[in-house]
Amino acid sequence: MIMASFFASAQRPWLFGLASLVLSILTLLWLVLCFTAREQAWWNSTSLFFLGFAGAVVLALRGVRSALGIIALILASLLFALLFIMHFG
């Protein structure tokens, strides 16, 4: 709760929630695209996916005062946890 109130912003929090949702969906599509790739490339490194989902979590924490921000926080946190489980087993 302290972390969420520290990052929370009063400046149109739904925009941060929307940005987090867009970043989460784009990173998820990028993840799916990379898993279907036949060759390893620099752009399908799991550290880049961690950065994408971590950025989505931070944006969602900034917009936690709106319903869209809460939905974005739940989605971004679940996707970050799924990637963590996939990477570390």
Per residue in 44-88, pLDDT (tens digit) is 777 888 899 999 999 999 888 889 999 999 999 999 998 889 888
Residue 8, pLDDT score: 58
Residue 5, pLDDT score: 57
29: pLDDT strictly greater than 50: yes
3: pLDDT strictly greater than 60: no
37 in Cβ contact with 53 (< 8 Å): no
25: pLDDT strictly greater than 80: yes
Rounded-to-10 torsion of CA 20, 24, 25, 29 = 150
